[in-house]
């Protein structure tokens, strides 16, 4: 499971479900997940997408309208999808045809794993399936994996931002940035040298495991914060808050989650983490924060890759003080 919830949406008039898409996006956002819908209008488009093994692996749910125009009916599309995507849940819906009649078509065509709904009830049906899927992986051990994966995405985006910024600088700026990075590395080497001296007397392996990588994700975020103070990136300074928030509110929590074993304590939604109780609700808030940060860093990267132009949209409102 990822922070992204990916849907293949088959409807010949996708603009007719814009309202439903927005409602689903909002509800999933509140749970700390991003809803991504890939629209298909025809059987050819569906076949092209589901033939891609990578795409089918990433699909979490399929939505299919009953009347797809040109005498094409949803049950035919579902049958074709089932030839490739065997085990994904499908929601079969219609604006006019009652759900009971859709179930009849499903039964007559021998289709499995298909939910039926009216377009009016589509949002509730989608969110019901979403909750069913997500609850299976929302124990805190799985949530830890989701958070580690999402913060790794942020780490990679930060690296790409730094590379893009370096390309936009003049010779002096490039040198300043390189020297800054070397400073962090030297700082890390000094820490490691001091640590190695102390570890020579270690009598357990646990002591040796305390050493960490040089130029960590924390260092790269510090580099980004420093670069955003440079005159060349004055128009991107609004993202300083996002970097600060990432440093203060996600890196430390990610590191704690990544290096500890979660021990269930009776209730399935509560665990003890090095003596501290952590709840599903706290993890939901952390997912929502990471989603906002991921979007911010992606916007910053796109603006830097576009010749250093300011991003069309600033950072997430939730992160701006």
Highest mean pLDDT among 170-184, 201-215, 244-258: 170-184
Domain final residue, candidates 81, 114, 135: 135
Asked if residue 255 has pLDDT above 90, the reply is no
**Residue 91 and residue 153 share a domain:** no
Identify the domain containing residue 45 by its residue range: 4-135
Tokens encoding 298: 């992606």
185-235, pLDDT tens digit by residue? 888 777 777 766 766 776 665 555 554 455 678 888 999 999 999 999 999
Asked if residue 317 has pLDDT above 80, the reply is no
**Residue 99 and residue 9 share a domain:** yes
Q: Are the C-beta atoms of residues 189 and 127 closer than 8 Å to each other?
A: no
pLDDT score of 148: 80
Domain final residue, candidates 91, 108, 135: 135
**Residue 159 and residue 92 share a domain:** no
**Residue 105 and residue 22 share a domain:** yes
For range 67-77, the mean pLDDT:
92
The CATH number covering residue 98 comes to 3.40.50.2300
**Residue 190 and residue 277 share a domain:** yes
- Average pLDDT of the chain? 82
How far are the Cα atoms of 182, 187, 297 from residue 196, in angstroms, in the given order? 20, 14, 35
Asked if residue 151 has pLDDT above 90, the reply is no
**Residue 8 and residue 45 share a domain:** yes
**Residue 81 and residue 220 share a domain:** no
For range 161-166, the mean pLDDT:
92
Higher pLDDT, 314 or 286: 286
For range 294-316, the mean pLDDT:
80
pLDDT score of 179: 92
Helix (H) or strand (E) holding 93: strand 90-94
Residue 221 sits at φ, ψ, to 5 deg, of: -65, -40
Predicted confidence band of residue 49 (pLDDT cuts 50, 70, 90): confident
Tokens encoding 191: 């820490």
Cα 314 to Cα 321: distance, rounded to the nearest angstrom? 13
pLDDT score of 203: 64
If one counts the domains in the chain, the total is: 2
pTM of this prediction? Answer: 0.74
289-301, pLDDT tens digit by residue? 999 999 999 999 9
**Residue 202 and residue 69 share a domain:** no
Highest mean pLDDT among 120-124, 142-146, 303-307: 120-124
Task: Return all residues near 49 (Cβ < 8 A) that are at least 6 apart.
Answer: 8, 38, 40, 55
Cα 280 to Cα 142: distance, rounded to the nearest angstrom? 11
**Residue 114 and residue 85 share a domain:** yes
**Residue 198 and residue 182 share a domain:** yes
For range 49-69, the mean pLDDT:
82
Higher pLDDT, 137 or 233: 233
SS3 content of the chain, % helix, strand, coil (to 5): 60, 15, 25
Asked if residue 170 has pLDDT above 70, the reply is yes
**Residue 219 and residue 178 share a domain:** yes
Domain final residue, candidates 106, 135, 164: 135
Predicted confidence band of residue 276 (pLDDT cuts 50, 70, 90): low
**Residue 12 and residue 120 share a domain:** yes
Higher pLDDT, 199 or 181: 181
């Amino acid at each position: 499971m990822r922070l992204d919830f990916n849907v293949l949406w088959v409807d010949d008039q996708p603009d007719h479900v814009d309202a439903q898409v927005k409602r689903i996006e909002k509800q999933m956002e509140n749970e700390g997940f991003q809803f991504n819908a890939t629209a298909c209008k025809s059987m050819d488009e569906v076949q092209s997408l589901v033939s891609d093994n990578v795409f089918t692996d990433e699909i979490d749910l399929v939505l299919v309208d009953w009347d797809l125009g040109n005498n094409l009916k949803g049950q035919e599309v579902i049958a074709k999808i089932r030839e490739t995507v065997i085990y994904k849940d499908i929601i079969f819906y219609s604006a006019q045809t009652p759900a009971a009649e859709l179930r009849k078509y499903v039964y007559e065509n021998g289709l499995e794993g298909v939910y039926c709904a009216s377009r009016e009830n589509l949002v509730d049906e989608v969110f019901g399936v979403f909750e069913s899927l997500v609850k299976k992986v929302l124990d805190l051990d799985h949530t830890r994996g989701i958070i580690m994966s999402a913060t790794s995405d942020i780490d990679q985006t930060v690296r790409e931002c730094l590379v893009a910024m370096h390309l936009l600088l003049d010779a002096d700026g490039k040198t300043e940035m390189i020297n800054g990075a070397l400073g962090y590395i030297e700082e890390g080497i000094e820490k490691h040298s001091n640590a190695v001296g102390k570890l020579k007397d270690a009598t357990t392996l646990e002591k040796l495991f305390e050493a960490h990588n040089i130029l960590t994700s924390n260092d790269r975020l510090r580099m980004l914060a420093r670069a955003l103070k440079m005159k060349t990136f004055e128009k991107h300074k609004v993202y300083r808050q996002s970097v600060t928030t990432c440093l203060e509110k996600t890196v430390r929590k990610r590191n704690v989650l990544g290096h500890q074993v979660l021990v269930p304590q009776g209730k399935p939604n509560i665990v003890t983490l090095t003596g501290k109780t952590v709840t599903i609700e706290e993890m939901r808030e952390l997912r929502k924060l990471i989603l906002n940060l991921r979007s911010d860093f992606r916007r910053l990267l796109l603006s830097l890759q576009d010749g250093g132009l300011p991003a069309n949209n600033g950072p997430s409102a939730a992160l701006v003080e």
